[in-house]
Amino acid sequence: MEIITAVKGFKDILPPETDKWRHIEETAHKVFCAFGFREIRIPLLEKTELFCRGIGESTDIVEKEMYTFLDRGEESLTLRPEATASVIRAYLEHNLHAAETVTKLYTIGPMFRRERPQKGRYRQFHQIDTEILGPDDPRTDAELILMLLHFLDKLGLQSLNLEINSLGCAACRPAFREAILSFLRGREEELCGDCRRRIGTNPLRVFDCKVETCAAIISQAPLLPDFLCAGCRDHFEKVQALLRLFDLPFHLNAKMVRGLDYYTRTTFEVTTEFLGAQNAVVGGGRYDHLVRELGGPDISGIGFAIGFERLAAMIPEADADALPQGPLLFIATLGEAALGKAFFLCNGLRMKGIRVEMDHAGRSLKSQMKRADKLRSAYTLILGEREIAENKALLRNMLSSTQTEVGLDSLEETITELVR
């Protein structure tokens, strides 16, 4: 019978990769908590309308990439393609805005988009998503960016580039939109099919096109910072000044736009040279009208989303010591009596929070020692019928290859002492 394999674009995360993922999650929990964020867990499925209204009907995500279907009640449902709309839906549904003027939330989990799978990009992918809801203040923008770079630094990531831009607001963006439309008129035939379609829906998205011919044309286009109103210009200058307080290097990228319609004012990306053409590790920005567009009060927000798979691929191998290691102890046994004693010792130590492994198959001592070495066990206890009769065993340090004799009656205390 043929083996059933995973769906294309859906990937199993196996040990030891899961150790790295847990390390990233634990670092995120620690850093985000220090900055006042609390975790929220949101459903995988939402009503399709949420993403159509929240992300934008004209975006590639809504038009081409969402997993949408009718359930048995003929209601249109969608596997979440991003987290921000879902977080805000929960924020409004549970009246979190009534409880406090500033709400800081984060969530970690899978998202779903049906796009062409490639290195570092899957149809089920995972994100770390953070949102600050409440203040329309440049300090909030700077605080979020500082936390992001601090988190990436804690993970040991290097050669990162922070790019920032301002996308303006409802007051200044219409003039820029008209300038872009005027620039593109007469050049339609030189653009790719997607960009020609975007002219009629969201012309700013042409800046995000990776097709070389389009990029060459857009390189001559007007730039959004030249059209910012006084309020947006002041906001953006204050964000930059606050980042400079911490000597945080950044690059002004006037051509950077985000793939979602809801962004306003400050937007940012963190890129790296190690990921090729798809070089963005993190993207985010301010969205001052999204809460209102989803039926809530006029509350501002800002957030970012980190691609988990890309992040995991960038964790330096030199940081392997920071990841969970093998068991503290492996119990190697010879004979049935030793197996019974080892089972009792092994599980007693586990219930004290100590990771211990043993062999149940009765293999040779040589095979068991190889297994202990493969597991990267710190110590191996060698236990046979003679050792049981004498009420003692050999405890081998796997790193130094030295052995000491230990009494079985005090073994738990001896092992517990090793982890202090």
Residue listed under structure tokens 């150790």: 19
In 202-307, DSSP assigns E strands to 251-252, 264-272, 280-286, 300-307
Q: For residue 33, what pLDDT is reported?
A: 96
Residues 270 and 350 in one domain: no
Give one DSSP letter per residue of 16-75, joined into a string: THHHHHHHHHHHHHHHHHHTT-EE----SEEEHHHHHHHH-TTSHIIIII--EEE-TTS-
Residue 201 counted as domain residue: no
Residue 59 counted as domain residue: yes
Percent of the chain with pLDDT over 90: 53
Domain C-terminal end among 304, 319, 334: 319
Task: Give per-residue pLDDT as tens, 310-327.
Answer: 899 888 664 545 555 789
* Domain boundaries, position 26: 17-172+228-319
Comparing 343 with 195, which gets the higher pLDDT? 343
Residue 132 counted as domain residue: yes
Task: Give per-residue pLDDT as tens, 400-420.
Answer: 989 999 988 888 888 888 776
Residues 386 and 253 in one domain: no
Residue 3 counted as domain residue: no
Q: For residue 310, what pLDDT is reported?
A: 87
> Which residues have a Cβ under 8 Å from the Cβ of 287 and sit 6 or more positions away?
84, 262, 263, 264, 300, 301, 302, 303
Whether the Cβ atoms of residue 127 and residue 305 lie closer than 8 Å to each other: yes
Residue 74 counted as domain residue: yes
Q: How many helices (H) and strands (E) does the chain have?
A: 16, 16
Q: For residue 323, what pLDDT is reported?
A: 55
For the cut 60, the answer to whether the pLDDT of residue 264 exceeds it is yes
Q: Please tell me whether residue 292 adopts helix, strand or coil conformation.
A: helix
- CA distances to 300, 334, 360, 380, 386 from 363, rounded to whole Å, are 64, 8, 8, 15, 18
> Within 10 Å of residue 82's Cβ, how many Cβ atoms?
20
Residues 137 and 235 in one domain: yes
Residues 314 and 344 in one domain: no
d(CA 156, CA 322): 10
d(CA 250, CA 256): 13
Amino acid in the structure at residue 47: K
Whether the Cβ atoms of residue 225 and residue 166 lie closer than 8 Å to each other: yes
Instruction: Report the mean per-residue pLDDT for the chain.
Output: 88
Residue 180 counted as domain residue: no
> Within 10 Å of residue 286's Cβ, how many Cβ atoms?
27
Range with the poorest average pLDDT among 21-30, 149-158, 255-264: 255-264
Residues 374 and 306 in one domain: no
CATH number of the domain bearing residue 361: 3.40.50.800
Residues 31 and 96 in one domain: yes
Residues 235 and 119 in one domain: yes
Residues 81 and 114 in one domain: yes
Give the residue from 274, 308, 374 showing the smallest Cα distance to 17: 308
Q: How many CA atoms lie within 13 A of 291 on its CB side?
A: 27
Phi and psi for 329 in degrees, rounded to 5? Answer: -140, 140
For the cut 90, the answer to whether the pLDDT of residue 229 exceeds it is yes
> Which residues have a Cβ under 8 Å from the Cβ of 72 and sit 6 or more positions away?
none
Residue 218 counted as domain residue: no
Residues 143 and 122 in one domain: yes
Domain C-terminal end among 292, 319, 346: 319
- Beta partners for residue 47, in sequence order: 77
Task: Give per-residue pLDDT as tens, 40-62.
Answer: 999 999 999 999 988 877 677 88
Residues 265 and 348 in one domain: no
Residues 290 and 142 in one domain: yes
d(CA 45, CA 80): 6
Residues 259-282 have a mean pLDDT of: 77
Residue 263 CA from chain centroid, whole number: 20
Give one DSSP letter per residue of 337-379, joined into a string: HHHHHHHHHHHHHHTTT--EEE-SS---HHHHHHHHHHTT-SE
Instruction: Report how many domains make up the chain.
Output: 2
Residues 37 and 150 in one domain: yes
d(CA 31, CA 148): 9
Whether the Cβ atoms of residue 360 and residue 339 lie closer than 8 Å to each other: yes
Whether the Cβ atoms of residue 129 and residue 87 lie closer than 8 Å to each other: yes
Residue 146 counted as domain residue: yes
Residues 355-373 have a mean pLDDT of: 90
Amino acid in the structure at residue 97: H
CATH number of the domain bearing residue 61: 3.30.930.10
Eight-state DSSP code of residue 275:
G
Domain C-terminal end among 289, 319, 349: 319
